[in-house]
Chain A
Amino acid sequence: MMYDIIIIGGGVTGCTIARALCKYDLKVCLLEKEADIAVGTTKANSGVVHAGYAAEREYIKRDLCIRGNKLYTQAAKELNFPFKRIGSFVVALESGQIKDLEKKRKRGIEDGVHGLELILDRAEILAMEPNLTDEVIAVLHAPSAGIVSPYEMTFALAENAAMNGVKFFRNHEVIKIDHRDYTFTVTTRRGEFQGKNLINCAGLYAAKVSKMLGLDYFDIMPRKGEYVLFDRSEIRLNKVLFPVPTKISKGILVCPTAHDNIFAGPNAQNITDIEDTSTTTAGLKEVLEGGRQLVPNLPLRASIRNFAGLRAVPSTYDFIIDNTDIYGFINVAGILSPGLTSCYAIAEKVIEYLELLGVQLEVKEDYNPIRPKPERLADMTKQQLDKKIQENPAWGRIICRCETIPEAEIINAIHTPVGATTIDGIKFRCRPGMGRCQGGFCRPRVMEILSRELHLPYQTITKKGEDTNVLVSKTKDVRLKEMREGGAE
């Protein structure tokens, strides 16, 4: 099969492009190296949709961010992912910082960022965000900033793309690419794919993929950011809270998630190992200390998880979105912050490039931009839930007690297009294991459902793909094996 377009990488960038392309009469596929999409940088970032005043004017990412922010409203409406425009504060704790905030405000307004305002009245600020430190002097309020669940958005994009004909291949790590006669032959660990155009959205691996085609004009360096996530029962925040950035870093923010938990992070640490998503003692300490500067009553004992994400920092500093010297090969690389905000604008740009390459962009007659909202118990009234259980008893069997997730939501997450195949896949699609107990109660039940629905033996269910098995054998098997082996001696 000859694809019109092959996308490498199932993160938010690749999936946004796949979804943008699914509207046209094209054969598109997406190759992802991991067992699921959205498991790299997409999974472990702040989930902030930035207003767009932050980057310097010489960078394309400033424009893409401002444009991208605006495109979220429609995308969220069509794709039904959790997105809230709650607004952000950049928090000045010293009077010397006010000047900087004022400069950001002025330039932001000039460039089309809506509603930016400098607030100097402490009482007014604290009324808007009571958990903010009372040492605050001023804030830059950006009402257009928002929060999104980045992985749920990516699942929604992939689902909608798949509904409209894009083929997704997970567990397909690309190991070789050949280009001959205007055809790319992409070799993966599980077979070959041929396509006329190739879009590299491989995130941290983007330079590696580009080099497979001999294009060695940039590098990607991993920069680690660590986070601590807190249970929602302790405190809630109304705003995304940023410190005033320094030259080196945007600083550690404290922010609600789309599900009303809050997190502190990220720090910024340049590392060399592209796979090192480990958290460190020093890093977590830095995150907590940084967070407490903004929110002094950060509930340390309600911390439920820590994690680290790697930003794909390009050697060029700015986003790399290029129609390369190889005809039909587009690099979309170095998409670090504000990449999540910019993704829809990046996809627009990629479409422009494809047009330049002469790709026929005819809208399909049966294109459906709507990805239906997943049915959630949490969204139902008591009467609706009761009716739902009468129709399908799986709505009445609660699997995750912390987040009140019924079996039906888990089954849906498995059978949806590009659905879950692992425990983490379930966790990130419909939240069992996300809560306080972190899967303590529900993991065996989630495994049972995965095993039944996917017709896989219970023991083979994994956390997140190959080599991440949860169980090693049946309870008596080790002893029985030893007895057999001992007897043979």
Chain B
Amino acid sequence: MKQYETDVAIIGGGAAGLASAIEIKKGGLEPLILERDVELGGILLQCIHAGFGLTEFNTELTGPEYAQKFINNALEKQIAYKLDTMVIEITQDKKIYAVNNEEGLIEIQAKAIILAMGCRERTRGAINIPGFRPSGIYTAGQAQRFVNIEGYLPGRTYVILGSGDIGMIMARRLTWEGCNVKAVVEIQPYVSGLIRNQVQCLEDYGIPLITGFTVTKIHGKDRLKGVTVSKVDRNFDRIIGTDRFFECDTLLLSVGLIPENELTLQAGAEISSMGGPIVDNNLETTLEGVFACGNVLQVHDLVDLVSAEAKRAGQNAVKYVNERYKKKMEKKGQIICIAGENVNYVKPDRINISDLDEEIIFTFRVKKPDRRIQVQIKDETNREIYKRKKRYVIPSEMIELKLNPEKYEIDPTCSQLVLEVIPVKEPLIDEEEEE
């Protein structure tokens, strides 16, 4: 069995893994990327549409371009990586076991580990659509891979369930390849992706967007023959008498993404209720020296935010190896962060009291769309630490808050912080032109 040593092992060579590796190299340490696919770049490689890089590169790039820039940077910096390499185990003492077909089983002893495995798509089973189980049902990402990378069309006539950006972008992508997209069906009463995609991917081609409906029956025993869609009530139960049938040979599901945390669990890190690992403000999991970033931590709406988060994870890993790893320092206490009203989740889950003199970055998503709201953070004594008004919030947007310690003071004796999004009565004057 081949054995290696590295400063920081990075699991996953997509957007998050690449950005954190570059940062580690910049910090003077040696990273090693372990990528399970045959090339670096991750899921960006199949996202051939534009819309990436506006904050990271100040220009609009396609997914492959965004990836290529990071890959080129990593190659220039001679960052070590292994392709076609699947990690099968992470031990408590930061040994990683992986396999590939050239070296067999390999053992890597790391001082720190960054988890950057990304996410996967929810499937039909995860949303329990009744009916037959014919061929012709794919997740949007699977279809995207077939069309953009493998070079095949999975069908001719489509219905797409889910109005997230991937679903809408696939609607246009397939239309451009000569296919017929009959409808995009959304269970929520509102479109879940960007307005831009609604306009440029659906309205431009007259593809109907049917909100408040879902697929309630799959037809066809062999290949898909069609789907029934029905209006749903508040509990997402089908309303009888609202059925509509669409003939189609393919159903694409764009019904959400789930952090891919099998290895995280196996390694023994605690997972939060939203599926990502519990992390502190340094993006360190509950396992010392094991960090998480990108979609394995939380599903991001913009890759630029993945890169930014991954850089932080990289910097913190460097700091860990240089300081705590060497001196075996103990953490002091932690403050728990809680998702309050209309907040689906908040990261970090915990803040180290010893880090209160540093900038703390919060990220969160709301549960439901709202207009004229205030984002606020209070501690358990109801003391207000932060507030900011916003004109609108939508669940598909990941919101980032940066708390500068000079401006926002957190009491080191408090035990928890609650982040809430509450409606405000007075009309909002453009208070936040920061965007």
Contact = CB atoms under 8 A, between A and B. Distances in A.
Whether A and B touch directly in their complex, counting CB atoms under 8 A apart, is answered as yes
Interface of A: 228-229, 233, 275, 277-281, 283-284, 301, 303-307, 382-383, 385-387, 389-390, 393-398, 401-402, 404, 406-407, 436-441, 443-444, 458-459, 462-479, 481-482
Interface stretch (B16-24, B101-109, B288-296): B101-109
Given A305-B125, A462-B135, A472-B249, A389 B120 contact: no
Contacts of A401: 36, 86
A467 B99 contact: no
Interface residues of B, number: 54
B139 interface: yes
B432 interface: no
B130 A474 contact: no
In this complex, the member of A284, A394, A440 whose beta carbon has the largest number of chain B beta carbons within 10 angstroms is: A440
For B102, B126, B132, B156, the residue with the greatest tally of chain A CB atoms inside 10 Å of its CB is: B126
A468 B134 contact: yes
Nearest to A436: B120
Contacts of A304: 123, 125-126
A118 B177 CA distance: 65
A442 to B, nearest CB: 10
A438 B153 contact: no
Contacts of A383: 1, 105
Contact of B99 (A279, A307, A398, A462): A398
B142 interface: yes
Contacts of B132: 277-278
Interface stretch (B144-152, B319-327, B335-343, B389-397): B144-152
Given A279-B130, A404-B88, A478-B177, 8 more contacts: A277-B221, A284-B128, A306-B130, A393-B101, A396-B105, A440-B120, A463-B134, A468-B134
A479 B177 contact: yes
B223 A467 contact: yes
A283 B130 contact: yes
Interface of B: 1, 36, 84, 86, 88, 97, 99-105, 120-121, 123-126, 128, 130-135, 139, 141-142, 145-148, 150-156, 177-179, 216-218, 221-223, 238, 249, 258, 262, 265
Main secondary structure of the interface of A (DSSP, over half): mixed
A463 B102 CA distance: 31
A306 B121 contact: no
A396 B134 contact: no
Contact of A473 (B1, B142, B153, B223): B153
Given A389-B99, A471-B153, A438 B216 contact: no
Contact of A306 (B86, B125, B223, B262): B125
A284 B131 CA distance: 11
Contact of A475 (B105, B139, B153): B153
A472 B105 contact: no
Nearest to A438: B123
Contact of A397 (B84, B135, B139): B84
A284 B262 CA distance: 27
Contact of B105 (A280, A386, A439, A458): A386
Contacts of B139: 440
A443 B130 contact: no
Contacts of A386: 1, 104-105
B252 to A, nearest CB: 12
A303 B258 CA distance: 13
A474 B195 CA distance: 31
Given A443-B142, A444-B150, A382 B97 contact: yes
